[in-house]
Structure formats: C-alpha cells, structure tokens
Chains A and B, each alone.
Chain A
C-alpha cells in the first residue's frame, strides 16, 4: 500500500528510513516533539503536504494515546503496513527512552536544584512558543477547507476560548464542537459536489 493519492513530493524509502527519521526527530524534540515533526516531515523531508499534516494531526489528536505516537503509527502504517508502523514507533521511542534513563541515573538529585528548575522554566517558555507557532503555520491549510475561511476562524475562535480562556476539559470541547463542525463540513462538501 503506497501513498499513490498523496500529492506530497516524497515518501519514506524503507522501514529503515522510517526508523532513523523518527529517531532523528525524536532526539531533537525537547518539551514535546510536535514542532520538530512539522518542520522535519513537512518542510524538510516533504513526506506530507501541510494539508495532509493537518488532516493526520486531527486524527492523531482525537485518538487516545500520545499524539506524536499516533502520528508515527499512521505515517508508518500507510507506507509499509504493520511493520512500518512498528518501525516508526520504535524509532520515536527507543533512543529517547535510553537517553532519559541515562539522564535519570546521572542527574539523580540535580533535577530538584534551582538551576535545573530555572533551565526547565526557560525551555518551557520556548516550547510554548514552538507549539503556538506550529498552530499559526497550520492555519495556512484552512484555505482549502470546504467550510470556508470565515467558518473555520469562527470554530477556531470558539475552541480557543473554551480551552485557553474558560479552561474547559478537552474531551468536552472535542465531543461537542467536533461533531457539529463535522456535520457542517459534510453539508458543505455535498453542496460543493452538487454545484
């Protein structure tokens, strides 16, 4: 099963390629891997277009489990089936597990010091910015959305208010706004097909 429908210029060459690509990006991802995934897979390797990345990310987000793990399973599985999914998953998890355990053994005690706490704070502030920037970049993909830009902005604004300002639980927001938006999207796709 290859990505013949895909309009992305490139695809992973082999399971080994998948494994090492995910190892490489996992080891660059401090405070979460998402920002690196977007930059590596869309901007650099071009395995996915921005539109495809948004679609895949929507699914990865809605499924239970770590988002980036889900994304790795999806990309690996689409190219090389179960073996591909496992290769991507192993790449994503193996090296970081070894690194974090070595780190735990080495710095036992250091993690609680003021300097370490300060460093984590600083990296946290930066990674907050990285995640927000990925969101801003992905907004470009909404241009092709069948619901139209204005509706997308309205849905996005509602989501932001619910999660960012009102701090409602994620599951509530996804389960209430998600089906509404999907039904409206279905309506728009049908209309566009009829026109």
Chain B
C-alpha cells in the first residue's frame, strides 16, 4: 500500500497540469513522460498498470484521453491498498480520476476556449482566414499519416499482411459506404480475438 500525502496529490495534480499544454497532437503524446513520472520516479503506478491503462482505454468507447482517467484510478487504488479494501478504495480511486483528469484538462481547455472564441469573433481577419486555409492540407495529410502509422507499426510484412488488409478494407468501406462503424470494429475484434490477424 502506498502512502500518499496531500503534498503528493498536489504534485500529481500540478504535474498533469504542466503536461496539458505540451499535449499538442493529443493526450497520448504525453504518455512517455507520464511513464517516467508515475512508474520510474514515484512508483505510484506499476509498469503493468500503465500498459493495461492504455490498452483498456483503446478498447473502450470514448476519446483516447480516457487512459489518463484510468491512471488516476489506479494510483488511487494503489493508495488505498487495492479494490479489496472496498468502498473507501473506490472513493480514493475516484479522487485519483478527478485529480488527473481535471489537471490534464483545465489548462488546455481554457486556452482553447479563449483562443477559439477570439478567432471566431475575428473570423473575417486575414490572419485567421489564412491560418485556417493554410493548415487545412496539413491536418488532412496528418490524419492519413496517422492511419498509415497505426497500420504500419507491425514491421514484419510476411506475417502482418492480414492487419494491413483489414485496415485497407475498412478504409474503403468507410470511404465508399454508410456501414455503421461499430460493425467494422466488432468484425475487427472478432478476427483478432479468434487469432486470425
């Protein structure tokens, strides 16, 4: 069981606040630093808890930032001595969720809200128009590159071609048809669960 003082919780909160403004390109870009802080330095989270938090958040519905909530949950559970401790453990785990999620969200949300309101009020300004037009081809290419990277992280073509095929086929289906996305994800989970890809 961990013993987290009020100062420790405060340090957890301020650490996530400081990461918030660095998370350009999504919360997942901060994962390496969170690993360094929570696993290597403070030992508030085990390596296995870190990995399964990311995996679970990816398998669950919702934005990817949910992995931050799971990490807060696990730190709280560790501080309470595990789920076996009953309701006090759940309460402390929920407290952990609040600390990490509010910390990671407040700075970036405040900045985004203020900046985009200003941009909307000045939407006829040349600089605002030029920024939006100039960035459009970049962010579109970025999406395609993200899809490419997520597919291409498996380095062995002879063994991994079924993964590529699944990605390519789902790209085509989403592009050309109105098939519900959940059917595609379910099909992927089924193929993967049966060990076919």
Contacts and interface: CB of A to CB of B under 8 A. Distances in A.
Given A112-B48, A177-B138, A122 B147 contact: no
A21 B114 CA distance: 23
Contacts of B182: 28, 30
B39 interface: no
A127 B175 contact: no
A122 B145 contact: no
Interface in A68-115: 68-70, 73-74, 77-78, 82, 85, 89, 92-93, 95-97, 99-101, 103-105, 107-108, 111-112, 114-115
Interface string B85-121: 0000000011001000100110111011101110110
A182 interface: yes
A120 to B, nearest CB: 5
Main secondary structure of the interface of A (DSSP, over half): helix
A137 B175 contact: yes
Given A107-B56, A131-B150, A189-B126, A125 B61 contact: no
B171 A122 contact: no
A129 B135 contact: no
A177 B52 CA distance: 36
A73 B112 contact: yes
Could you tell me the dominant secondary structure of chain B's interface residues? helix
Interface in B128-144: 129-144
Contact of B62 (A100, A134, A153, A164): A100
Given A62-B24, A186-B126, A89 B109 contact: yes
25 contacts: A57-B139, A61-B25, A64-B107, A65-B108, A68-B63, A70-B112, A82-B113, A95-B62, A104-B73, A112-B48, A121-B197, A122-B166, A123-B58, A126-B188, A128-B146, A129-B167, A130-B171, A147-B134, A160-B144, A163-B141, A164-B148, A171-B24, A185-B130, A185-B134, A189-B133
For the complex of A and B, the 3 pairs showing the least CB-CB separation, nearest first, are A122-B192, A96-B62, A65-B108
Interface of B: 20-27, 29, 48, 52-53, 55-66, 69-70, 73-74, 83, 93-94, 97, 101, 104-105, 107-109, 111-113, 115-117, 119-120, 123, 126-127, 129-152, 163-164, 166-175, 178, 181-182, 184-185, 187-195, 197
